[in-house]
Amino acid sequence: MKRRLLLVSNSTLHGSGDIKRVLFVPYALHDRDAYTKTARDKFKTLGYEVDSIHEASDPIDAVQRAEGIFIGGGNTFRLLKGLYDSKVVTEIRRRVLEDGVPYMGSSAGTNVATISINTTNDMPIVYPPSFYAIGLVPFNINPHYLDPDPSSRHMGETREQRITQYHEEPDTPCVLGLREGSMLLVEGNKATLLGTTKARLFTRGKPTVEYDPGCDLSFLLADAH
């Protein structure tokens, strides 16, 4: 397994010295041109050129030529629908898992790197043909995970309750709650929690577990989870 992934809760960009051009996927926002300009300007300060998939005449060919792939945040349902509409889900998976092309996901881009988008925080403003995502890792992630606030007067469901409800369904995978400031680095079959905040792991039928930055989470990459 050649995968090299950086899955981030927020939109902080981090450089990687072995590529010069990045294929940006702006499908999560409506104004793809403006989103691409923002990404292009930011990556330029890091020393990278950006090609946007929405500017390519053939999106599949753009993925096949990519040195690195970055999928940004926004609405996860819109993003996944865009990936299916442009027919690049399978090709992104192949390039990352088989060719070792570096992949970075931020927020919604992190969601679509997992098994499914069932644990996203977003409203379903559009309907993708499937909730199954790219599947670069065999578990789900909840970016921007928020802990319950005991002093809050808000009577809605907490993030913890929503994930628990998800696990009431059969055969649902682990969910890693990534708080702001945390990220997951995956190199082959090794996964490491990075950043400044802890992550919370939800496993169906088991108590939740907290992990500190620097922890080895490689066990999550086993298909049994």
Show the domains of the chain with their CATH numbers: 4-221 (3.40.50.880)
| Closest by Cα among 103, 136, 133 to 118 | 133
- Evaluate if residue 170 carries a pLDDT over 70: yes
Average pLDDT of 151-168? 85
Catalytic positions are 107, 122, 144
Name the DSSP class of 216.
B
User: First and final CA of the chain: distance in angstroms?
Assistant: 17
**Closest Cα partner for 194 from 208, 206, 184?**
184
pTM for the whole structure? 0.93
Residue 90 reports pLDDT greater than 90: yes
State yes or no: pLDDT of 11 exceeds 60.
Answer: no
pLDDT the model gives residue 17? 56
Q: If you average pLDDT over residues 201-220, what whole number do you get?
A: 97
The 3-state DSSP composition of the chain as helix, strand, coil percent (nearest 5) reads 25, 25, 50
Q: Judge contact between 51 and 23, C-beta under 8 A.
A: yes
Q: Tell me how crowded residue 30 is: count the other CB atoms within 10 A of its CB.
A: 12
Select from 16, 28, 74, 76 the least CA-distant residue to 52: 28
pLDDT over 70 percentage in the chain: 93
pLDDT at residue 166 in the model: 96
CA pair distance 88, 61, nearest whole angstrom: 9
Mean pLDDT throughout 169-198? Answer: 96
Work out the pLDDT band at 15, boundaries 50, 70, 90. very low
Mean per-residue pLDDT, 141-156: 81
Q: Contact at 8 Å (CB) between 193 and 212? A: yes
